[in-house]
Amino acid sequence: MSYNPKMPLNNERPASTSSGEDQGSDVESSSERCDSMTSTSNRESFTSDCSSKHSTPSSSPPKTLTLDVVMDSARDLSNLSLAHEMIVNGNFCLEPKSLPQDSLWKIVRDIVHKAFWDILESELNDDPPEYGQAIRLLEEIREILLSFLNPGANRMRTQIMEVLDMDLIRQQAENDAVDIPGLASYIITTMGKMCAPARDEEIKKLRESSDNKVTLFREVFRVLDLMKADTVNFTIDNLRPVLQRQGVEYEREKFQSILDKTPSALEHTTSWIKSALEELSTTIPKEQPNGPGKGQRLVPGPFQILNTAFLCILTWDYDKSPLPETWMTDETRLREIQRQLQQYQAVNEVLLIVYSTVGGPIQDLPSLSDRMKRMISVLLDGMHSPGFNLEEALKGVSAQICCELNKSLTERNYPALTPALQGTLTGQICSITQKDNPIRTLVEDRVQHYFMALICDPKPQVKLEKVPAGLTAIKPELAMMGAKFISLVNYNKAVYGPFYADIIRKLMFSSNPPAANPPQDSIQDSVTSN
């Protein structure tokens, strides 16, 4: 949805509803907004961050859910999702709904619409004409035109009511005196005054149309549908700055409302954080024998748990389990980042194999590297599609790579690759489909370290260009994906931080805490020193 028109209505712009200092809750600046959650200067950040009347999440005891409660929660979730999309997606806009070509809904809709227009044509062709259907159509057009007006457009409102006076038109119909062409001309002229500049060409076509009355009105309704979408998008554009300033509080309020009605709304989120805690508990080294813990395993800090959980989102297995509830509004964006990341990891793995196999003759040739990178990216495009055969695609990649290498080598008076070397290269490239492939493991580990560094750093923008060794071939793409992901993480942290804090406290200080659990002050120290 790339089109996002502005909608001037009779040169009357709604007054800005924004006031006060911009608090910078736009996604692009979300890392600054969340610095309090990772800053070493704030010892109480984990328990007091985002403090407001909504900062302490609450949940009700289990109760029986009625249909009304479920529907209320669904509406809250819908509002939350829409608001979140408007905040994080600067290109978000609405377009007239287009149904699939062969769908049942489209067939039914087309039949109903055809019946309406057939009746209108039949009535207008009668002798004398019947105007019942035409009057209903004009009445609907009048209401649509009135809905486009701003509250202060009284002169145009009065004019529309006078020209499209339904009582008068009904009297004219009784005397066969309805001026359909004149009314159509007025409607089109009024639409031209109200529409966005992007619709001027559509209005021009309507004015110059030589179609019969029915076809003309059919086109009028089509353009009115476009104008309705423009009006909604104009409203979205005006709401977006307000939502960006108040988005964190608004989304937190909405989610708390859902949690109040459905106490199990954090079930998957709790499991997600618990898994991160369990993963860390098995990897953190034990305390020194002469230390205060006397050889017992150290307990991870809250932010260490949360950062590990965020990193898990990057490689989430959507077939195995649903996303945490707090991430559902970003699922589409997360899936796209994951698809791109996996594709460029494969590109990087192939390039590493090529350079380690062929060696010196192709070193320090950036143009060759760029050509191979583009070629591999194109051939692996769509690798996440259900019917995509990765192994066959990699064989095609190998063949193209060998051709490109032989061309480059012979142009510079080097011998072409031997059949044995080409076979070795093909085998190594195709082997990256195996999860335990050493090149694949190396690349995936370094990508994980890169993203973890971004998540842990309070100023991640500084580290976007600092990719680990061996990943320089995909540095631009990695930096772009890193920027997108860290923006989502920081905004998510700002909105749901209090909920995460509550979950982690319950997990770490349950009725049976680990024996080596240090006091909470020590945990805060470890968090703020990350």
Give alpha helix (H) positions in 327-418: 331-358, 366-379, 390-411
Mean pLDDT by 10 residues, the chain (530 residues): 40 37 37 38 39 45 48 58 67 65 73 81 84 89 90 89 92 88 92 89 87 86 88 76 75 88 89 92 66 62 92 93 92 93 95 89 87 93 88 93 91 90 93 93 95 91 88 93 92 92 87 41 39
Residue 21 · residue 220 · CB < 8 Å: no
Q: State which amino acid sits at residue 126.
A: D
Q: What pLDDT is attached to residue 479?
A: 93
Assign 12 to helix, strand or coil. Answer: strand
- Residue 12's closest CA among 155, 189, 142, 225? 155
For 20-61, what is each residue's pLDDT tens digit? 333 333 333 333 333 433 333 333 344 334 333 344 555 444
How many Cβ atoms are within 10 Å of 433's Cβ, its own excluded? 13
| Separation of alpha carbons 268 and 284, rounded Å | 24
Phi, psi of 104, rounded to the nearest 5 degrees = -65, -40
C-beta separation of 443 from 397 below 8 A: no
d(CA 347, CA 481): 15
- State residue 213's pLDDT score: 84
Residue 360 structure tokens: 């010196």
Assign 41 to helix, strand or coil: coil
| Cis upstream peptide for 128 (omega within 30°) | yes
Cβ neighbours of 112 (radius 10 Å): 9
Of 199, 238, 205, residue with least CA distance to 93: 238
Residues 6+ away with beta carbon under 8 Å from 515: 296
Phi-psi region of 309 (alpha: psi -120 to 50; beta: other; left: phi over 0): alpha
- What ranges do the domains of the chain cover? 104-239, 325-509
**Cα distance between residue 247 and residue 334, in whole Å:** 20
Rounded CA separation 157/145 (Å): 9
